[in-house]
Amino acid sequence: MVPALPFRPGLPLVLARTRRHTPGVPKDPSTPAGRRAAWADSLLHDHSILRIGWRNWGAVEPGRLYRSNHPQPWQLAQAARRFGLRSVVNLRGQRVECGSDALSREAALRLGLAHYDAPFESRGAPHKDRILRLAELFGRIEEPVLIHCKSGADRTGLAAGLWLLLQGRPPEEAVAQLSLRWGHISASRTGILDAFFRLYARACRSGASPKPFLDWLREDYDEAALRQSFTSRPWADRIVDGLLRRE
């Protein structure tokens, strides 16, 4: 028996009305059937039922940058009203088959928010070209901005840390965006994101004058070397991949 959901404005009774769940089919909430399919996919396949009460919300810098897990449409509306959001950056990338993605895009359009895709990996060495694209986006995007991935723990922490570095903040502040407080487990494969920030921190300590982050990224950062040097702990991988089923 499906437990009753707490009431939220705009949440349809999809669990009772949708008999078949098809996670591989593009989701289009513009029709009643498509909306039911999008909500079913979001709640059941994308686990957004767990995000109804757990938002993993935080301010990276109040009035400029906020972070969260993948917001429900009404959560996005609440945040837009309360914090004056102007833009949303989706770190999962566009996923036409994902109900959560379809619903949050629709909500952003309805609210007049600019919506951007900047996909990152949670378990791989950050790609130089993707960081540079995100840096370019952060340089022109209208603030305040909300960044999100699925859980708000790993890719969101990476992007928050990158934003801080681009503001000239120390790498210690950047790596603090990846912590257990946000659900990030650094001993797992996602810990390679911490290792990236610590790599830059060591570079800053090694010279008389720290190299600006983007200069270090372009000239010194070696993705392959980072991948080769990082080792996760099996017990932590079992938690992140098996128990939490992180993306």
CATH number at residue 135: 3.90.190.10
CA 67/CA 59 separation, integer angstroms: 6
Q: Would you say residue 209 lies in a domain?
A: yes
Q: Is residue 43 part of a domain?
A: no
Q: Which two tokens stand for residue 231?
A: 């080792």
pLDDT number for residue 14? 36
pLDDT tens string, the chain, 247 residues long: the values are: 333 333 343 433 333 333 334 556 667 787 888 888 888 887 888 788 888 988 999 999 999 999 999 999 999 999 999 999 999 999 999 888 888 899 999 999 999 999 999 999 999 999 999 999 999 999 999 999 999 999 999 999 999 999 999 999 999 999 999 999 999 999 999 999 999 999 999 999 987 678 999 999 999 999 999 999 999 999 988 998 887 777 7
Query: Residue 126 domain-assigned?
Result: yes
Pairing between β-strand 65-68 and β-strand 58-61 as defined by DSSP bridges: antiparallel
Q: What is the pLDDT of residue 45?
A: 84
Q: Is residue 61 part of a domain?
A: yes
Residue 222 lies in a domain: yes
Mean pLDDT (the chain) is 88
Q: Is residue 71 assigned to a domain?
A: yes
pLDDT at 101: 92
**pLDDT value, residue 207:** 73
CA 220 to chain centre: 26
Q: What's the total number of domains in the chain?
A: 1
The C-alpha atoms of residue 123 and residue 155 are separated, in whole angstroms, by 9
pLDDT given at position 146: 99
Q: Which two tokens stand for residue 206?
A: 């090694």
Q: What is the domain extent for residue 98?
A: 53-243
- Hey, how many other C-beta atoms are within 10 angstroms of the C-beta on 167? 15
For the purposes of burial, counting CB atoms within 10 Å of the CB of 219, is it exposed (0-12), middle (13-18) or buried (19 or more)? exposed
Q: What predicted TM-score, i.e. pTM, was given to this entire model?
A: 0.86
Q: State the CB neighbour count (10 A cutoff) for residue 243.
A: 8
| Terminal C-alpha separation, the chain | 27
Q: How many CA atoms lie within 13 A of 71 on its CB side?
A: 25
Question: Is residue 142 assigned to a domain?
Answer: yes
> Which backbone phi and psi does 116 adopt, to 5 degrees?
-125, 150
Does any domain span residue 46? no
Q: Find all residues with CB under 8 Å of 115, minimum gap 6, and list them.
A: 87, 88, 90, 104, 105, 108, 109
- How does DSSP assign 213-232, residue by residue? HHHHHHHT--HHHHHHH---
Q: What is the pLDDT of residue 2?
A: 31
75 in Cβ contact with 55 (< 8 Å): yes
Question: Which residues touch 7 (CB under 8 Å, ≥6 apart)?
Answer: none
